[in-house]
Amino acid sequence: MKIIRAEFNGECFYGVLNGEEVLRLKSAPYDAIEYTGEKLKLSEVVLLPPAEPSKIVCIGKNYKAHADEMGEGQPPEPVLFIKPNTCIVYDGEDVVYPEMSNRVDYEGELGVVIGKRASKVQKGHAAEYILGYTCLNDVTARDIQKSPTQGTQWTRGKGFDTFCPIGPHIETELDAQNVELETRLNGEVKQHSNTNLMTHGIDSLICFITEGMTLLPGDIVATGTPEGIGSMQRGDVVEVEIEGIGTLKNRII
């Protein structure tokens, strides 16, 4: 099932994508999928980011090859940081290059969308709290993240407005622990990996996060990026494609 958010006649709503039709839902899809019976043409609606997270919880260095390319080693436990929800933009929207930065990087990732309140989730039960999955780009101002004068600044370097494109929809039926992930810059493949190479799998990540932090419906867990990160320039187009989900495409301005 492909869950979307859309706007029609000034009203925002959730829906299910069925080919070129949108089947409108009565409410957000977290408690239950209930249809209104209204069908709209996809061409009639304006698509929006498919989730409205209170926070995006991100995982650093969750692929060994990426940890190796950064030259910092891989920690034994997941490294967590948070992007504010003001980072969110949709497929096709622009990513704004901050004037104070001289290096802005792409980081293609699998995003996990939480479906119900999750606190102290026990091992083997994370799937019960997941609504679905989406493509995500953890855009990073690398020079600000690793400032020589201010020290490591993960939240500042990764928290700029527009620095978390997501989309194009939430896919609810996916073996997310074994899918191909590819990032392309101006059509050239820069990252290609599989989620089965994560050091910490999705179940472990959600259990680890919720030991002390409650995840709410709509929150997103960004599961980390594989090797091949690199910089973008104004005018570049970056695409994150995940097998079984689709492609997220954004331009840098």
Interatomic CA distance for residues 5 and 140, integer angstroms: 26
Output the pLDDT for position 193.
Answer: 97
Output the pLDDT for position 150.
Answer: 62
Output the pLDDT for position 244.
Answer: 97
Q: Contact at 8 Å (CB) between 87 and 55?
A: no
State the Cα torsion 142-144-150-154 to the nearest 10°: -70
Output the pLDDT for position 148.
Answer: 63
Return averaged pLDDT per consecutive 10 residues of the chain, 253 residues in all: 96 96 96 94 97 96 77 81 97 97 97 98 97 98 79 85 98 97 98 96 98 97 95 98 98 98
Q: Per-domain residue ranges for the chain? A: 2-48, 56-252
Interatomic CA distance for residues 185 and 92, integer angstroms: 14
Q: Was domain 2-48 assigned CATH 3.40.50.300? A: no
Distance of CA 217 to the CA centre of its chain: 15
Q: Contact at 8 Å (CB) between 134 and 170?
A: yes
CATH number of 56-252: 3.90.850.10
Q: What is the pTM of this model?
A: 0.95
